[in-house]
Amino acid sequence: MDRRHFLRNVAASSLALSLPALARADETQSAFLSQLPRQPRLATLKGGVADQQGGAASMEGRWPGEIRGTFYRNGPARFEAGGERYHHWFDGDGMVHAWHIEGGQVRHEARFVQTQKYVEETAASQFLYPTFNTFHDRRPLGSNDTVNVANTNLLPHAGKLYALWEGGSATEIDPQGLATRGIKAWRDDLASLPFSAHPKVTPDGTLWNFGVVHGGNKLLLWRIDPNGSLGKFGMIDVPSLPIVHDFVVTQRYMVFLVAPFDLKRGPETTILGYQTWNGNRPMRAVVVDRADFTLRKVIEMPAGMVLHLGNGWDEGQTVRLDACLSPDDGTLQSLNSAMRGETPHAPNTSSVLVTLDLERGTARTDVLLRGTEFPRVALADVGQRYRQLFVTTSQRDVHFGMTGVARIDVESGKVDRYEYGADWVVEEHIPVPKASGKGQWLLGAAYDVRRQQTVLAVFDGAHLAQGPVARARLPYAAPLCFHGNFLAA
């Protein structure tokens, strides 16, 4: 090879090396845009919404006058900046929503959480920091909270409102007007510690939560007392601890289902990229004593992946809980594809009832209903023995998002179900107690694909199959949310 030839090859290969990094993000964007006309359900992942949104809903049917208050929601809403598109749904910056319900009328408002990341990236007109599964390092990180997107849940507790993301601190939001108040430190020396997006509030008003330090194999445990102050903080070592999204609390325990990911970090590894599925390893049920935050038991189960759990209770040496279980991490990975406009996998999660025998160290899994997500139970049932489990449902031939709601009796297995249909992307629905003290309303938003509008529906929780009692329709599409909670007026 002569020298000129050699130099030409070097130039060509360095071009090839530098191009993928530049082109990758644009590739995500152009793939998404080209697929969008054939994938109208994915319009929910477009992003590009204004900093604030708001409007009055028109009412279809008669809204139950006793449901008065605010339905708080949160979800990622900015997916693109500077011509680059995020690779995973979970990457987006959080936008907090409030559905104000009063006098049978519904009004919606939404604002982006003004996280450090959102503010700096808005000013720079480009992404600067790494996210769940898109790598950028245009500015150095200070702590977990430098990359806190506050995009997963919005929880009222003890008069305060918190936007939550599992990798960092809670972000306090003004319940009136949704302005961002700032990062919450429960105690000065506990700043910047992960406070996950799925706390459980037991009927006495105590908030239980956990956090995972990625790469640290530390499971952090939190108890926030009913008055909103820190009750207890603890930390236990769990070997090979990957991402953990949710848990249940029972009268005596906090229970985590830990998926079998191997953890391998490279120089540009994202949080998701750090996790490599290993189906040869077991899933672990990690049982922690909630009174003193000590490890009670680890029980091995067949490999499986759980994002969401509904509830659990304990009786003697037995713990029972429900979880949305998938055989592997396919669902989580498919949310990468969705950002490229592809929908290769139908959701493959099932609601299961897990029975743990703490004495024998055994676990048993019984399927309740296939194709489910977003399990919720009545507020009064959290940590107690319960029968009614509310979930969203999906159809086998619909490959992105949910299409209906169901109530499962976890004892009899009986299912009461309503299908919105394939032209709807159905968000999490949550039970709201009826004023009579008996039974629940079921409240939730859904995106009407044909009319490109977001609708808030209310069902009689005892009769889902009859369809919604009333629907409040916005004249626009609100970004799809993950999780939320109702605060009664």
Residues forming the site for other proteins (CB under 8 A): 137, 140-144, 146, 188-193, 213-216, 218, 220, 233, 235, 265, 267
Minimum distance from CB of 256 to other proteins (Å)? 18
**194/468 with CB nearer other proteins:** 194
Minimum distance from CB of 223 to other proteins (Å)? 15
**36/191 with CB nearer other proteins:** 191
Q: What is the DSSP letter of 479?
A: P
Question: Across-strand partners of 78?
Answer: 93
Minimum distance from CB of 86 to other proteins (Å)? 21
The DSSP element (H or E) to which 19 belongs, if any, is helix 3-35
Comparing CA positions, the residue from 2, 25, 245, 251 lying closest to residue 133 is 25
Minimum distance from CB of 267 to other proteins (Å)? 7
**265/364 with CB nearer other proteins:** 265
| Per-residue tokens: 474 | 């916005």
Minimum distance from CB of 185 to other proteins (Å)? 8
Q: What is the DSSP letter of 145?
A: G
**36/213 with CB nearer other proteins:** 213
120: how many CB neighbours lie within 10 A of its CB?
15
Residue pair 173/154 in contact by the 8 Å Cβ criterion: yes
Minimum distance from CB of 183 to other proteins (Å)? 11
The residue type of 226 is: P
Residue 125 three-state SS: coil
Minimum distance from CB of 329 to other proteins (Å)? 22
Q: Phi and psi of 330, rounded to 5°?
A: -55, -40
Count of positions (residues) in the chain: 489
First to last CA, the chain: 79
The DSSP element (H or E) to which 444 belongs, if any, is strand 440-448
Minimum distance from CB of 137 to other proteins (Å)? 7
- For 172, 305, 400, 467, the CA distances from 397, given in Å and listed in that order, are 40, 22, 9, 22
**203/216 with CB nearer other proteins:** 216
Minimum distance from CB of 284 to other proteins (Å)? 21
**211/310 with CB nearer other proteins:** 211
Residue pair 334/345 in contact by the 8 Å Cβ criterion: yes
300: how many CB neighbours lie within 10 A of its CB?
14
| Per-residue tokens: 422 | 């394939």
Residue 144 three-state SS: helix
**187/451 with CB nearer other proteins:** 187
**55/234 with CB nearer other proteins:** 234
**214/245 with CB nearer other proteins:** 214
Rounded distance between C-alpha atoms, residue 151 and residue 170, angstroms: 10
